[in-house]
Structure 1
Amino acid sequence: MRWLLLLGLVAFSESIVKIPLTRVKIMRKTRSEKHMLNNFPKEHTYRLNLTSSPGSNITTHPLRNIKDMLYVGNITIGTPPQEFQVVFDTGSSDLWVSSVFCTSPTCFSHVLFRHLESSTFRPNNKTFIVEYGSGSMKGVVARDTVRIGDLVITDQEFGLSMAHSEFEGMPFDGVLGLNYPKFSFTGGIPIFDNLKNQGAISEPVFAFYLSKSKPEGSVVMFGGVDTSYYQGALHWVPLIQAGDWRVHMDRISMNRQTIACSGSCEALVDTGTSLIQGPRRLVDNILRLIGATPRGSKHYVSCSAVNTLPSIIFTINGFNYPLPAQAYTIKDSSGNCYTSFKENTASASTETWILGDVFLRQYFSVYDRGNDRIGLAQAV
């Protein structure tokens, strides 16, 4: 998560668990046909669980629409269970929630974990700090039972917040990281790794579907892929290296002209980031080409011109992923349209882009830890 821009085991054999997410608005080499998903089981050591919706063991949580644009879902921690609304984030690796230990005023607008009310709680006393793009969190590490739908992870290490900085108005209680273990600030085994290790899922795969225009319907699924959420082929992209959901991107183009990422660059696929971030100079060039004008912290275009603006095409591993103007512009509460491109302030030795929810609403994404790759397909 590059923070959100503006920011017991119930074992399933050959099953998929889907966790509904809620949209929240906050101020944050092409493969041949033989490599498509329907032939995946022939080529790999484990069998990818495929289903077309009903008929498989699927756990679904009720949705709650908070506002617009960030995706959250419910989990529980402790015995008896205490429920929290968290961001499922491929950009970070730790689970943490707000707690009664927190002294920051912002904590009291969230659900707080009450450790004395959980019979399975175990303290650790180790502290940690997480720095995000627009704030920080200091916490203490503990262990307890965590439930994600029908999946139960016992003795899971997680963080309890003690202090927050710059997180006013964030409408969630914590973060559930789905990145690789090396990015864990708590030093513990992340949730997804424990799901694998404890046999709660049959395959080391999870996937996201993020709804485009309605608060309902978004899901994160574990242990397999529901093919009803995408159309056409699922194209696989190898990671630059195992340990981060980062891939090579060939170029970014518009009207058949390369406008960024000439000569290739890197792209981080991040469900915990709302918009699309890139180097300032290149973002400014894109904004100029589409005629966006600054107003405060955002850049606006005429809503009447959105249907005439060109698509911006992200070419990844030889395959084009167009993003139409209707996807890269967002209408605010006043009825004005602003763009979804934002400067990435993090320093990097190579040109790096963060493909957040604006991109992932268009493209269903699969995260394959067994083969260290990401699958992308046109979302329905």
Structure 2
Amino acid sequence: MFEAIILAGLVLLNYSQALPTSPTVQQIQASRSDQGHLIDRRAEDSSIPLERDESAGIFTANMVIEGILLPMHVDTGSSQLWGAHESCQACRDAHMIVLDTVLPEECERKDIQYAAGTVTGCLANTSVSLGSYYVEDLRILLATDISEEIAMHGHLYSGTLGLADDKLTIGNTSTFGSSLFTQGQIPSPKIGFYLPGRNNPVDEGKMAFGNSIERFTTNIEPITLPRARPDDGVYVINVTKVSVGETTVASNQQAVLDTGSLGIGIPPSMSDNILSTIYGKITEEDGGKKVNGSSPLGENNLTSLSFTFDGKTFNVGYEELISTSQEDGQCWALMDTYKGNEADETWILGEAFLHTVYHVINIEDGTVDLHNA
């Protein structure tokens, strides 16, 4: 048995499981062509639309695998592309759209261990298309079983599109992104992301392979940050300082940028102090934290948290650090303690931070460009 453990899979920080989800199953029609993929569905625009579910904070892109259209969770914190298979009863029970690809005769069990659950299945070569891009014989995982934590959001997505390095895939095979660059379908090994926040009038996010989306950025030059841990396969950058209001609460830290995480993860050594300062009174409930809908830092303090990278500061407003108001008038906190590997020095900057920037990852060398959105 070979077990692939993909660090920083971080699909969702554990506390996000307390967030309510809509009971309505989102159906996406599966379609086929005689060739097994949907040429006529390829978008003319090179950018890929990303749909966000408000309740769970998950961004998905519609990907065609062997002729079937699946909503795929877009995750820069992992590398393996997987899709639900018809043999996966847990996938079907979770209302995932499933693939009917023939499983290999010799199916050796493969596991992907995320921070929030496990996916098990068989590797197979399939044709994959996303927007205007198409890759034939891409090695993906056909999921034959998923854990309860993964199944919980099955009505939102039917697989994961991992966009970290090849070194984190099972067997170090090519990712979808690296295949596009190797085949010359994109001009550079860069992928740009615009992930609008809850209060942004633009509901749809965008992902752009090989370039950036200038209309979502300011004219200010971006800051380019090298990968802080060269041997790491995810996008780890150095953080000069972290501030709450005018007070510096941490210096010389490292952070993982991860579209697959809902909120912000804080190193254990400082999380209690930061959480109480930002949220004030906190009530533990159903595995999450209930907090006030308004910042205890005061109405005039619009920025409760800021991150400085190599002299450039990006601010995160309080409204990005809480969920929508619940029936009891309180909100779920979108920050919590990160308890993963190297947790004493590592932050996880998920969507709560990424809503405030336009960021571009380099899938070859791990550098990151941060723009003001």
Partner of residue 30, structure 2: none
Change (3 A) 1:258 1:108: closer
1:203 aligns with 2:188: yes
* 2:293 and 2:325 in contact (8 A); partners too: no
Partner of residue 274, structure 1: 262
* 1:124 and 1:141 in contact (8 A); partners too: no
Counterpart-to-counterpart distance in 2, 1:245 and 1:346: 15
Give the fraction of aligned pairs with identical amino acids, expressed as a percent: 24
* 2:195 and 2:205 in contact (8 A); partners too: yes
Match of 2:221 among 221, 227, 233: 233
Partner of residue 317, structure 1: 310
* 2:193 and 2:206 in contact (8 A); partners too: yes
1:342 aligns with 2:333: no
Shift of 1:182: 1.0
* 1:16 and 1:221 in contact (8 A); partners too: no
Q: How many residues align?
A: 326
Shift of 1:228: 0.4
1:133 aligns with 2:115: yes
Query: What are structure 2's unaligned runs of at least 5 residues?
Result: 1-8, 18-36
- Spell out the pairing of 1:168-187 with structure 2 (5 A cutoff): 168-170=151-153, 171-187=156-172
Shift of 1:124: 7.1
Partner of residue 86, structure 1: 72
Give the structure-1-normalised TM-score. 0.79
Corresponding residue SS for 2:167: helix
Which piece of structure 1 moves more, 91-100 or 315-324? Answer: 315-324
Change (3 A) 1:162 1:215: farther
Change (3 A) 1:257 1:246: same
Counterpart-to-counterpart distance in 1, 2:246 and 2:133: 46
Partner of residue 253, structure 2: 265
Change (3 A) 1:299 1:17: same
Corresponding residue SS for 2:98: coil
The Cα offsets for residues 213-241 of structure 1, whole Å up to 9 and x where unpaired, read as: 35732011101112101113311111112
1:113 aligns with 2:99: yes
**AA aligned opposite 1:94:** Q
Shift of 1:191: 0.8
- Spell out the pairing of 1:282-293 with structure 2 (5 A cutoff): 282-290=270-278, 291-293=280-282
RMSD, aligned α-carbons: 2.5
1:147 aligns with 2:129: yes
Change (3 A) 1:18 1:162: same
Change (3 A) 1:370 1:136: closer
* 1:24 and 1:68 in contact (8 A); partners too: yes
Change (3 A) 1:250 1:129: same
* 1:266 and 1:350 in contact (8 A); partners too: no
**AA aligned opposite 2:51:** T
Corresponding residue SS for 2:97: coil
**AA aligned opposite 2:225:** V
Corresponding residue SS for 2:134: strand
Query: What are structure 1's unaligned runs of at least 5 residues?
Result: 26-66
Shift of 1:185: 2.5
Counterpart-to-counterpart distance in 1, 2:163 and 2:106: 22
**AA aligned opposite 2:120:** K
Counterpart-to-counterpart distance in 2, 1:21 and 1:69: 12
**AA aligned opposite 2:247:** Q
1:298 aligns with 2:301: no
- Spell out the pairing of 1:9-28 with structure 2 (5 A cutoff): 17-25=46-54
Shift of 1:304: 4.1
Partner of residue 77, structure 1: 65
The Cα offsets for residues 6-35 of structure 1, whole Å up to 9 and x where unpaired, read as: 369x9xxxx97211111124xxxxxxxxxx
* 2:94 and 2:152 in contact (8 A); partners too: no
Counterpart-to-counterpart distance in 2, 1:230 and 1:194: 27
- Spell out the pairing of 1:49-68 with structure 2 (5 A cutoff): 67=55
Match of 2:352 among 353, 358, 361: 358
Corresponding residue SS for 1:273: coil
Change (3 A) 1:126 1:18: farther
* 1:124 and 1:143 in contact (8 A); partners too: no
Partner of residue 49, structure 1: none
Counterpart-to-counterpart distance in 2, 1:95 and 1:186: 13
Counterpart-to-counterpart distance in 2, 1:370 and 1:179: 9
